[in-house]
Amino acid sequence: MPYTQRTPYICGSCARALSIASRRKSVRNHPNQLVKRLYGNVASSDGRSLRVAVIGSGPAGFFATKQLMKLTEDAKIDMYEHLPAPFGLLRFGVAPDHPEVKHPEVEFSELAQSSRFQFIGNVDMGRDIPLTSLIPHYDAILFAYGCTKDNKLNIPGEDLRGVYSARAFVGWYNGLPEFAGLNPNLEAGEEAIVIGQGNVAMDVARILLSSVDRLKDTDISEQALETLARNKITSVKIIGRRGPLQASFTIKEVRELINLPSVYFEPVDSSLIPLEVTNLKGMEKRRRTRILDLLQKRGPTPMNAATRSWALKFFLRPNSFKSSSGDLANLCKVNFERTALEPNADPLDIAARIHGTGELHSLEASLAFLSIGYKAEPLPGLDSVNVPFDTKKGIIPNDLYGRVISPLEGTGDLSAGHVPGMYCAGWVKRGPTGVINTTMEDAFASAEVILRDWKEGVPFLNSGIGGSTGLGWEGLRKEVEGRGLRPVSWDDWMKIDRVENERGRERGKVREKFKTIKEMLEVLD
């Protein structure tokens, strides 16, 4: 049977039913002898090592690299990143008061010391350099560049001043150059609304409600600290269009907000709390039950002793952002439609569907943050290397293991045809879901399938046309430098890193990040 018929494309509904554990057999816990037998030396028939280009230096890219280098002594990895700084969301997406989540940076930095790894920062693949330039010099390309766009509500008033995406706000306080000029006005009023109830929404609320003293020792940007020192927000409402059982925040995030010093937690309407979670089993039942228990408890700070407050509001769907008659440019309130579960929906079902009731509700707010999910976008020139992109789902079509698959000509269906040498990992593979451990498992799966395909002689880049040069970055360097670009090596990044740490120590902080690419490159010049 041809290879392309062995890995059928699985539709989204089926994919959601499959756990990562059932899709793959991890070799992480196998005895060393078995690992060597499965992969060992995977040099090609001409004795050349596997050469892989990884596009993206976030957790997915690094975890996949870690697994590739762990399972074989031959693979050589070149990692391309559009910023001079690595680590993606670990650096620019994790809340500054959660430093423990950033621990993988330590092992990634150790990994980067290997002679089989090269970091090429400040090179935006597809924009600075065409993707076709990679093809002659690599056997495989792993796309792991994550999500760079926000989902939109597409409702009236979304462009008013005071309406921000959560991604922009998080990037701003974490020093992401893209959002250095955001300058949110936290002095415009006392009411803020966060639309969405995932962990990012909880992060946004916690930063708005935290005292500056609680944040000043972290790696939050100095610019953000100065703005937060003038913060007049005293009330934050976190809005969900479904019920408490369907919210996607985690126990840790809820507990941390409830226990925030000098902050009052407004009790959740008891009529919305199910008496018992009967339709779930095992760990998921325990997790949801613990969240519901938390929501019924009062926080340690009573209302009369609090300086700020927060609340969770359910069954509200935004339909417009409004300004006041006296100030047409700035947000004044948010209008919502009340929702309800579908008549035949199980109220205990975490995936229960809702419908609008027609009843309207308004909340005053000078700030609104949209935390309704991220979306990947296609790199320029993906089609030139025969890699498709599903714009509706915001992913590169794949077979769940990480093999990029191509659509059938003349139809909208997807075949099981693997695009030779093309793979993906992380959010561009499965969408913006899960936590760091989810990304790690997913990236390991992609790495393992690359090695398995290589060992089994599956067609890779340049198969049948003389093969890859195997030069990798060395084959691309002259073209990059000839375009006037300034590639940043790992040694270069370590210099930037040292200066950021020094700047932080001078301010009594963990680090002070550079806000712009220009500032980072000036360290090297």
* Binding-site sequence positions: 60, 81, 89, 197-200, 241-242, 253, 427, 434-436
Q: Please give the structure tokens belonging to residue 143.
A: 């796309």
Whose CA is closest to 139, among 426, 443, 441, 455?
A: 455
Cα–Cα distance measured from residue 61 to residue 65, given in angstroms and rounded to the nearest whole number:
6
Give me the residues paired with residue 316 across strands: 338
E strand or H helix that includes residue 104: helix 104-111
- Count how many residues are written for the chain: 525
Cβ–Cβ contacts within 10 Å for residue 181, how many? 10
354-364 and 327-341 beta bridge pairing:
antiparallel
CB of 233 closer than 8 Å to CB of 280: no
DSSP letters for 395-454:
B--B-SSSEEEEEPTTSS-EEEEEEEEEEE-THHHH-S-S-HHHHHHHHHHHHHHHHHHH
DSSP state of 408: P
Block residue for tokens 């920062």: 121
191-195 and 403-407 beta bridge pairing:
unpaired
SS3 109: helix
Half-sphere exposure of 502 (CA within 13 A, CB side): 7
DSSP letters for 329-367:
EEEEEEEEEEEEE-TT--TT-TT--EEEEEEEEEEE-SE
Distance of CA 487 to the CA centre of its chain: 24
Cα–Cα distance measured from residue 381 to residue 238, given in angstroms and rounded to the nearest whole number:
39
Residues in binding site for FAD: 60, 81, 89, 427, 434-436
Q: Which residues of 269-280 are buried (b: 16+ CB within 10 A; e: fewer)?
A: eeebeeeebeeb
Q: Which amino acid is at 482?
A: G
Block residue for tokens 């090695």: 451
DSSP letters for 285-310:
HHHHHHHHHHHTSPPSS-GGG-SEEE
Cα–Cα distance measured from residue 525 to residue 513, given in angstroms and rounded to the nearest whole number:
18
Q: Which amino acid is at 489?
A: S
Give me the residues paired with residue 367 across strands: 192
Residues in binding site for NADP(+): 197-200, 241-242, 253, 434
Helix 282-295 / helix 251-258 crossing angle, nearest 10 deg:
20
Q: Please give the structure tokens belonging to residue 512.
A: 């002070």
Cα–Cα distance measured from residue 368 to residue 492, given in angstroms and rounded to the nearest whole number:
39
Residue 408, exposed/middle/buried by CB under 10 A (0-12, 13-18, 19+)? exposed
**What separation, in Å, do the N-terminal and C-terminal C-alpha atoms of the chain show?**
57
